[in-house]
Amino acid sequence: MFENKTTTSCENNLLTVESLSVTIRNSRKKLIHNLNFSIPQGEIFGLVGESGSGKSLTATVILGMLSKSLEVTSGSVTLGQSEITSLSERELRNIRGRDIAYLSQNYQSFFTPFIKVGQQFIEIIRCHTDMSRKEAKKVAIHWLNKVHLPAERVFNSFPDELSGGQLQRASIASAIMFRPKLIIADEPTTALDVLTGERILDLLSELKEELNCSILLISHDLKHIIKRTQTVGVMYGGQIVEIGKTSAVVANPIHPYTNLLLQSRLRLNKHIQHELPTMLGEPGLIAEEGCPFTKRCPSAMESCSNKVPMNSLGKHHSAACHLVNAEREERYVTR
């Protein structure tokens, strides 16, 4: 019919982040550098990296909630047909909570402590719709059931009467009530123990199927990402240093950072180790020029301080590292 403005957002990508850069207004310091990734409809995309790698900041940009002291200097974020970076606050308010839902690690502070959970649900619902209180309660109970909670009891409880897992479930329920297109789950299980965390991730996968939405799963722990995502981006110092199909990245980690992240996972062992493999240095150690990981990299060479472009290995996998070469390509394992 008409030539569409967003010709670049191809096929069925729900979210497209294109050459996104974010800097601090005053110091011109770059926090996110030329970020590129996209999430297809109905997929779970994982973003993994240590503290300070810029993964949560990326989520903030997608939500259009960037702090005033920061600035998007280039690039765009497109959700469906709308370009988020150019929307007004009023338009953004319609998208946030409706089209994009956000789940944080800090489920403890999700609900106001001295108002019953049910009342807070009703408030959220009436904020986005013109339902009566009675109708809103029905909706709330429906979604509390959906996340496998004893709905009536939770509805009439104060937040401190619920366990961590229950609170996280309740916050999920409130996030998905408007059938969002995208759920951003920022370390949703980090504050929970292993079993509860797994159940929360099971729930998210199940809801994804039902709502046919996409999920951006952010974590510092590859353990949570590997099993759940189709595609993964590995972030360091505000850049994606490796990206690809999760199975391909796990089988053939190219960037030394990805490799070290994989190795330093704590794992049960048949033989008890005397020392765990570790990564050199602290997460905040970022090189200003070239590859951000240079200062901690065991295979750093002179050329690493120059700009390292993304090199692709096969169709579904690329990395910003000089180690991508022909010899590597031969050894590439396809699963």
Site for other proteins, rule CB under 8 A: 50-51, 163-165, 192-196, 198, 220-224, 226-227, 260-261, 264-270, 272-273, 275-279, 282-284
Smallest gap from residue 321 Cβ to other proteins (A): 18
- CA dist 229 and 42 (Å) reads 11
Q: Of 123 and 221, which has the nearer Cβ to other proteins?
A: 221
- Position of tokens 């901690």? 296
Smallest gap from residue 159 Cβ to other proteins (A): 16
Nearest to 79 by CA among 69, 90, 66, 94: 94
- CA dist 51 and 180 (Å) reads 27
Identify whether the C-beta of residue 136 lies closer than 8 Å to the C-beta of residue 121. Answer: yes
Q: Of 161 and 329, which has the nearer Cβ to other proteins?
A: 161
Identify whether the C-beta of residue 136 lies closer than 8 Å to the C-beta of residue 126. Answer: yes
User: Which tokens is 149 given?
Assistant: 């909670």
Q: Residues with Cβ < 8 Å from 141, sequence gap 6 or more?
A: 151, 152, 155
Smallest gap from residue 226 Cβ to other proteins (A): 7
Q: Of 134 and 267, which has the nearer Cβ to other proteins?
A: 267
Smallest gap from residue 70 Cβ to other proteins (A): 20
Helix pair angle (117-128, 133-146), 10° resolution: 110
Smallest gap from residue 320 Cβ to other proteins (A): 19
- CA dist 129 and 315 (Å) reads 44
- CA dist 106 and 166 (Å) reads 13
Beta bridge partners, 231, equal 45, 245
User: Identity (one letter) of the amino acid at 302?
Assistant: E
Residue 19 burial (10 A CB sphere; 0-12, 13-18, 19+): exposed
User: Identity (one letter) of the amino acid at 133?
Assistant: R
User: Which tokens is 23 given?
Assistant: 């800097």
Q: Of 86 and 264, which has the nearer Cβ to other proteins?
A: 264
Q: Of 274 and 315, which has the nearer Cβ to other proteins?
A: 274
Smallest gap from residue 310 Cβ to other proteins (A): 23
Q: Of 34 and 259, which has the nearer Cβ to other proteins?
A: 259
Q: Of 51 and 112, which has the nearer Cβ to other proteins?
A: 51
Smallest gap from residue 195 Cβ to other proteins (A): 5
Smallest gap from residue 234 Cβ to other proteins (A): 12
Q: Of 130 and 275, which has the nearer Cβ to other proteins?
A: 275
- CA dist 234 and 225 (Å) reads 11
